[in-house]
Amino acid sequence: MAINTPAGSSRRDFLRLTGTLGAAAGLVAGLAACGGGQGPSASRSGGASSAPTEQEVTSKDGVITAGISYELGTNGYDPMTTSAALTVAANWHTLEGLTELHPATREVYAALGAELPAMVDDTTYEVALREGAMFSDGTAVTTEDVVFSFERVLDPANKSLYSQFLTFLDKVEAKDGTTVTIKLKHAFSLVAERLSVVKIVPKAKVEADAKAFDLMPVGTGPYTMTDNGAATQKVVFERNDKYNGPRPALAKSMTWQILPDDTTRTNAITSSAVQAIDAVPAANLSTMKAPVTVAAEQGFGLLFAMFNHTRMSDVKARQAVMHALDYAKICETGMAGLATPATCFVQEGHPAYKKVSTVYSLNAEKAKSLLSEAGITSLNLLCTDHGWFSSVRPIIRENLEALGITVAYTEKKSSEAYSFIDSGEGDWDVLIAPGDPSVFGNDADLLMRWWYGADLWTETRMHWKGAEGYTAVQSALDEAVKLEGDAQIAKWQEIFETLATEVPLYPIFHRKSPTAYNSETLQNFKPIKLTGLSFVGTGSTAS
């Protein structure tokens, strides 16, 4: 949904135009105050304004500037290990898998592969490499690079978080100098989509200096990184002139400023210092005027409650916390209508969505009773300090304190919060934090495996591994991955029911991703439902 407020439009007319975004009182007040000249139409599919298609972009020598809300993660850019929002988004532009999912449409397309994987039999696929494909340093891509890239992700010693998405995969081997063979452990219906999680890297360069590669990766994508932002707080990209694939760079360079502060990031877009920002704070939407356009795309991205099962092993305690929350106030006031209370693990509109039997709503008396039964008289509440849900944190704290228990509240940067949890530095019972594994893929199996399949989450963080609910979820996931169509979706929906009752980690709400962009200087920019920004297929008239 793209929004641009015409000058002189009435409050009633504007509410009619903005639909769901204007439904919440907090956001209505902000958006109704927006002014400016008549902006571009919001009628194009995918939530983008009327803009040229990739083929119609007239200026391919402009520059793109952006403000990114997320900071650099604790690791670098290596696609085998990175999961931070900023680095993952950067890798969309500099690296490729054999296949890729378009960040806006989520459609799978042949990337480094000349075509989508071709089925030989139920457990064998072949992929030929794109003819003439090179890494940005000018070296040719070989099938040896492809095999190496998959093997390093699959190697348990490397502890790649992406290996959990490839449980169906037996091995990848070179058929000849131009084609690789994909061998599966069993038939799997999402081969093309799932291969996209592995980005192809140059074997020689990684083996020569893995640390240097992590800091400044070399890939086959349309852009190449020239500044990783570690020292400058600016990630800089130049067009990769060696790229010969289907999604060429339509700008000569990009500069992403790392701007975690909400006010600084908002000022950057309103002053035209940048052309696009992610995570637009609802409180700052009233400052947006043409040519700035605001879009809010409903996606899977969520705010979750994660429980420490060493103390919250009794499911009654976990359910009590979920029943204590005022979801209407959290979503309407705290998020100004940019969120929807969770009624399933996935958001309404997702292909696998089905409202679960256990939908949490505010019921303080039930929460008090469950806490009493579980013997819980105090909680250590840990929250990350992401700016976009700053107004939600006090509501959650108040909700829990209203139960008559002692609540010890701590707020930390995301990296510090997880370091605190992973190292066992101190006590915590509940973590409130955002997450969005849909940046890796959109199928329900992948989304669930991110949190419920990896030891990092289930053992190191939740301490849930080995519990009865954990075992049931793993068994059902392994069963579902071998199914297809309606049978597969039905099995996923059974797991949704288990997660809703067990709540080891569970969504509080699914959010709309608010993006602001300059609709005059950016050509064919498409707001996305994911965390981050994508400039795939985007041009610029700015210089």
From 3.40.50.620, 3.20.20.120, 3.40.630.20, 3.90.76.10, which CATH number describes the 96-214 domain? 3.90.76.10
Q: Where are the domains of the chain?
A: 58-93+221-291+519-542, 96-214, 299-512
Tokens describing residue 63:
């520059």
Q: What is the pLDDT of residue 53?
A: 54
How far is Cα 498 from Cα 518, in angstroms, rounded to an integer?
44
Q: Which helix (H) or strand (E) holds 254?
A: strand 253-258
Q: Are 330 and 395 in contact (CB under 8 A)?
A: yes
How far is Cα 222 from Cα 73, in angstroms, rounded to an integer?
23
Shortest CA distance to 382 belongs to which of 412, 423, 415? 412
Q: Which residues pair with 65 in a beta bridge?
A: 255
Shortest CA distance to 274 belongs to which of 69, 435, 466, 61? 69
Q: Provide the strand spans (E) within 105-178.
A: 108-110, 118-121, 124-128, 169-174
How far is Cα 526 from Cα 514, in angstroms, rounded to an integer?
12
CA 353 and chain centroid, separation: 18
* Chain segment 429-452, per-residue pLDDT in tens: 999 999 999 999 999 999 999 999
Measured from the Cβ of residue 476, the count of other Cβ atoms closer than 10 Å reads: 16
Please state whether beta strands 253-258 and 63-68 pair in parallel, antiparallel, or not at all (unpaired): parallel
Q: What is the pLDDT of residue 16?
A: 28
Q: Are 19 and 9 in contact (CB under 8 A)?
A: no
Q: What is the pLDDT of residue 285?
A: 74
With H, G, I as helix, E, B as strand and everything else as coil, classify residue 22: helix
Q: Which residues contact 343 (CB under 8 A, 6 or more apart)?
A: 355, 356, 359
CATH 3.40.50.720 fits 58-93+221-291+519-542, yes or no: no
Cα torsion for 40, 44, 48, 52, to the nearest 10°?
-70
Inter-CA distances, 475 with 410, 472, 492, Å: 36, 5, 11
Q: What is the pLDDT of residue 425?
A: 83
Shortest CA distance to 254 belongs to which of 270, 267, 244, 240? 240
What string of H, E and C letters represents the secondary structure of 350-379? CCCCCCCCCCCCCCHHHHHHHHHHHCCCEE
Q: Give the residues of the chain that fall short of pLDDT 50.
A: 1-52
How far is Cα 141 from Cα 318, in angstroms, rounded to an integer?
50
Q: What is the pLDDT of residue 24?
A: 33
DSSP string covering 3-14: E---TT--HHHH
Q: Are 516 and 293 in contact (CB under 8 A)?
A: yes
Geometric angle at alpha carbon 87, from 209 and 294, rounded to 5°: 160
Query: 485: buried, middle or exposed (CB in 10 Å: 19+, 13-18, 0-12)?
Result: exposed
The answer to whether the bond into 434 is cis (omega within 30° of 0) is no
Q: Which residues pair with 379 in a beta bridge?
A: 407
Q: Which long-range contacts (CB under 8 A, 24 or more apart) does 373-378 make?
A: 373/314, 373/316, 374/314, 374/316, 374/317, 374/320, 375/314, 376/312, 376/314, 376/317, 376/320, 376/405, 377/405, 377/406, 378/405, 378/406, 378/407, 378/408
Fold annotation for 299-512: Dipeptide-binding Protein; domain 3 (3.10.105)
Q: Provide the strand spans (E) within 278-427.
A: 292-307, 339-341, 378-384, 406-412
Q: Which residues pair with 340 in a beta bridge?
A: 510
